């Protein structure tokens, strides 16, 4: 039995306290331009983890670290046999990262616990705030490493064996900062997982909307393409006798763009990296490698985009005399979030009088892996000009507060309020 959570409709987080905590964490690894450089499993990451753990301990939480260094900060409920209601994100950043990406999701969770503590509200199910290891994938690949191990996307052994450019393994880096924990013997059951996050895109801001009720994440297919032509002198070689790999690449880049545009509004197609050989002013390029990143919301459409890309490569070969090889390297299926939890976010946004719109995540998040093993939802709030992974990343305190209030009510709703909680709340 739990109390009617409508009783707590007036409950609100302390937005100023949330902001202060964000600014305090951002001092660890602060950059001159106002951003944060706190790469995963570095000494600075260790300091950030220590600070967040200290805040949770002060709230009476129990701290558990698993084999890949994910930190679970548990606030007991009245029925600790129930699976926990979780919220979390990551506190590692890109080399030129900002203060909010990831950090917001973790500290919004801490602020939820602080608010419940202030008001002496005990939930029925336990609550856990989680820091996932290496979401960014900047120092170690694969990205979303901690949540990926948790969700069984790859093994702990595989993750621990990965090395950075200096040859340091994940296993050693975890030991160095004191976060090599114990892997639980059985998978951990999760009642629900919530992740509050800045949008990292421009849509909420463009619609003057405070909350994005995230329906799911785009599926992704990544490829390596190599194009083989022939190097030759730029002067003596007539146009009709050339096998110009860079010219072929230019056509393929146009095709990638067209494939994405044909699948609007969620289709995305990007060639982000190119290696042209010999890259010399007066040599016809003879060899070229490039990457392709295709995304969309529906797996069948993603398959259609995949076929269109293969077709574009084949046509290029036929029309140009170039040799084109297309190698798939990454596949993430589109991931829908739990309709009931997404509905809950939408409903509470309306109840609390925040503007809200449905949205999809174009980027990967820990929540995308969690959705494979637990009912999951995300709460997006706007970030200035849609910019993140940048030192100028910025968000408005009132938006962060709004998202945190939704997190509070959604967690309370799912976890239930213990019957013996004082009525003063
Ligand atoms: Zn993030």
User: Are 139 and 39 a contacting pair, CB within 8 Å?
Assistant: yes
pLDDT-derived band at 156 (thresholds 50, 70, 90) equals very high
For ligand 1, the distance from its centroid to the CA atom of residue 350, given in whole angstroms, is 25
Compute the Cα dihedral for 51, 189, 2, 88 and give only its sign.
positive
Most distant CA pair in the chain: distance in Å?
89
For ligand 1, the distance from its centroid to the CA atom of residue 278, given in whole angstroms, is 37
For ligand 1, the distance from its centroid to the CA atom of residue 403, given in whole angstroms, is 15
Extract the tokens encoding 203: 């849509």
For ligand 1, the distance from its centroid to the CA atom of residue 140, given in whole angstroms, is 15
For ligand 1, the distance from its centroid to the CA atom of residue 9, given in whole angstroms, is 29
pLDDT-derived band at 51 (thresholds 50, 70, 90) equals very high
pLDDT of residue 242: 96
408-415 mean pLDDT = 98
For ligand 1, the distance from its centroid to the CA atom of residue 144, given in whole angstroms, is 9
198-228 pLDDT per residue, tens: 999 999 999 999 999 999 999 999 999 999 9
- Nearest alpha-carbon partner for 229 in 213, 219, 242: 242
For ligand 1, the distance from its centroid to the CA atom of residue 11, given in whole angstroms, is 27
CB proximity list for 344: less than 8 A, separation 6 or greater: 377, 410, 413, 414
Task: Give the 3-state secondary structure of the chain.
Answer: CEECHHHHCCCCCCHHHHHHHHHHHHCCCECCCCCECCCCCCHHHHHHHHHHHHHHHHCCCEEEECCCCCEEEEECCCCCCCCCEEEEECCCCCCCECCCCCHHHHHHHHHHHHHHHHCCCCECCCEEEEECCCCCCCCCCCCCHHHHHHCCCCCHHHHHCCECCCCCEHHHHHHHCCCCCCCCCCCCCCCEEEEEEECCCCHHHHCCCCEEEEEEECEEEEEEEEEECCCEECCCCCHHHCCCHHHHHHHHHHHHHHHHHHCCCCCEEECCCEEEECCCCCEECCEEEEEEEEEECCHHHHHHHHHHHHHHHHHHHHHHCCEEEEEEEEEECCEECCHHHHHHHHHHHHHCCCCEEEEEECCCCHHHHHCCCCCEEEEEECCHHHCCCCCCCCCCHHHHHHHHHHHHHHHHHHHCEECCCCCCC
For ligand 1, the distance from its centroid to the CA atom of residue 138, given in whole angstroms, is 12
pLDDT of residue 2: 65
pLDDT of residue 420: 75
pTM over 0.85: yes
Q: Check whether 423 has a pLDDT greater than 60.
A: no
For ligand 1, the distance from its centroid to the CA atom of residue 401, given in whole angstroms, is 18
For ligand 1, the distance from its centroid to the CA atom of residue 379, given in whole angstroms, is 12
For ligand 1, the distance from its centroid to the CA atom of residue 127, given in whole angstroms, is 21
For ligand 1, the distance from its centroid to the CA atom of residue 374, given in whole angstroms, is 19
For ligand 1, the distance from its centroid to the CA atom of residue 169, given in whole angstroms, is 23
For ligand 1, the distance from its centroid to the CA atom of residue 365, given in whole angstroms, is 6
pLDDT-derived band at 425 (thresholds 50, 70, 90) equals very low
Q: Check whether 273 has a pLDDT greater than 60.
A: yes
User: Are 412 and 12 a contacting pair, CB within 8 Å?
Assistant: no
For ligand 1, the distance from its centroid to the CA atom of residue 366, given in whole angstroms, is 8
For ligand 1, the distance from its centroid to the CA atom of residue 284, given in whole angstroms, is 42
CB proximity list for 207: less than 8 A, separation 6 or greater: 357
393-402 pLDDT per residue, tens: 999 999 999 9
pLDDT-derived band at 422 (thresholds 50, 70, 90) equals low
Compute the Cα dihedral for 118, 132, 205, 347 and give only its sign.
negative
For ligand 1, the distance from its centroid to the CA atom of residue 294, given in whole angstroms, is 20
Total residues found in the chain within this entry? 425
For ligand 1, the distance from its centroid to the CA atom of residue 89, given in whole angstroms, is 7
pLDDT of residue 142: 93
CA dihedral 119, 410, 212, 336 (to 10 degrees): 150
Count of alpha carbons within 13 Å of 282, Cβ hemisphere only? 3
For ligand 1, the distance from its centroid to the CA atom of residue 91, given in whole angstroms, is 8
Extract the tokens encoding 72: 């679970």
Instruction: Calculate the average pLDDT of the chain.
Output: 96
55-107 pLDDT per residue, tens: 999 999 999 999 999 999 999 999 999 999 999 999 999 999 999 999 999 99
For ligand 1, the distance from its centroid to the CA atom of residue 391, given in whole angstroms, is 14
List b or e across 209-241, with b for residues whose CB sees 16 or more CB atoms inside 10 angstroms.
Answer: bbbbbbbbbbbbbbbebebebbbbeeeebeeee
pLDDT of residue 4: 72
CA–CA distance, 60 with 93 (Å, rounded to integer): 28
User: Are 303 and 267 a contacting pair, CB within 8 Å?
Assistant: no
For ligand 1, the distance from its centroid to the CA atom of residue 197, given in whole angstroms, is 7
CA–CA distance, 325 with 73 (Å, rounded to integer): 48
For ligand 1, the distance from its centroid to the CA atom of residue 195, given in whole angstroms, is 10
pLDDT-derived band at 419 (thresholds 50, 70, 90) equals confident
Q: Check whether 424 has a pLDDT greater than 60.
A: no
For ligand 1, the distance from its centroid to the CA atom of residue 204, given in whole angstroms, is 17
For ligand 1, the distance from its centroid to the CA atom of residue 246, given in whole angstroms, is 35
For ligand 1, the distance from its centroid to the CA atom of residue 380, given in whole angstroms, is 11
243-257 mean pLDDT = 98
- Rounded to a whole number, what is the distance in angstroms from the first to the last CA of the chain? 18
For ligand 1, the distance from its centroid to the CA atom of residue 320, given in whole angstroms, is 42
297-333 pLDDT per residue, tens: 999 999 999 999 999 999 999 999 999 999 999 999 9
For ligand 1, the distance from its centroid to the CA atom of residue 389, given in whole angstroms, is 9
CB proximity list for 149: less than 8 A, separation 6 or greater: 66, 67, 68, 70, 155, 156, 159
For ligand 1, the distance from its centroid to the CA atom of residue 300, given in whole angstroms, is 27
Compute the Cα dihedral for 166, 168, 170, 175 and give only its sign.
negative
């Amino acid at each position: 039995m739990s109390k009617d959570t409508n009783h707590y409709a007036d409950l609100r987080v302390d937005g100023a306290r949330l902001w202060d905590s964000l600014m305090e964490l951002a001092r660890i690894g602060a950059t001159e331009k106002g951003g944060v450089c706190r790469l995963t499993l570095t000494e600075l990451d260790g300091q950030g983890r220590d600070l967040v753990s200290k805040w949770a301990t002060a709230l009476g939480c129990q701290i558990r670290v698993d084999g890949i260094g994910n930190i679970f900060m548990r606030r007991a409920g009245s029925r600790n046999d129930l699976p926990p209601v979780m919220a979390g994100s990551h506190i590692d950043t890109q080399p030129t990262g900002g203060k909010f990406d990831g950090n917001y999701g973790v500290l919004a969770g801490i602020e939820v616990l602080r608010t419940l503590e202030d008001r002496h509200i005990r939930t029925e199910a336990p609550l856990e705030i989680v820091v996932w290891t290496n979401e960014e994938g900047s120092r170690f690949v694969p990205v979303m490493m901690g949540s990926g191990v948790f969700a069984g996307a790859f093994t702990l052994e595989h993750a621990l064996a990965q090395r950075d450019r200096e040859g340091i393994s994940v296993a050693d880096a975890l030991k160095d900062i004191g976060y090599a924990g114990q892997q639980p013997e059985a998978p951990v059951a999760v009642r629900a997982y919530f992740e509050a996050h800045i949008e990292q895109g421009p849509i909420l801001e463009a619609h003057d909307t405070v909350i994005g009720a995230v329906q799911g994440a785009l599926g992704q297919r990544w490829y390596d393409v190599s194009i083989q032509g022939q190097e030759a002198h730029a002067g003596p070689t007539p146009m009709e006798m050339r096998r110009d790999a860079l010219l072929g690449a230019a056509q393929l880049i146009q095709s990638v763009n067209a494939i994405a545009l044909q699948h609007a509004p969620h289709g995305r197609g990007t060639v982000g990296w190119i290696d042209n050989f010999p890259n010399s002013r007066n040599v016809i390029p003879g060899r070229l490698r490039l990457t392709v990143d295709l995304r969309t919301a529906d797996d069948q459409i993603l398959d259609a985009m995949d076929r269109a890309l293969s077709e574009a490569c084949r046509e290029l070969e036929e029309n140009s005399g170039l040799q084109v090889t297309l190698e798939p390297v990454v596949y993430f299926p589109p991931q829908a979030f739990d309709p009931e939890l997404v509905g809950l976010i939408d409903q509470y946004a309306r109840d609390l009088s925040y503007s809200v719109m449905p949205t999809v995540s174009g980027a990967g998040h820990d929540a995308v892996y969690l959705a494979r093993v637990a009912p999951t939802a995300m709460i997006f709030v706007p970030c200035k000009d849609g910019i993140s992974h940048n030192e100028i990343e910025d968000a408005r305190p009132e938006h962060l507060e709004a998202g945190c209030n939704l997190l509070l009510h959604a967690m309370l709703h799912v976890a239930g309020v213990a019957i013996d909680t004082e009525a003063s709340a």
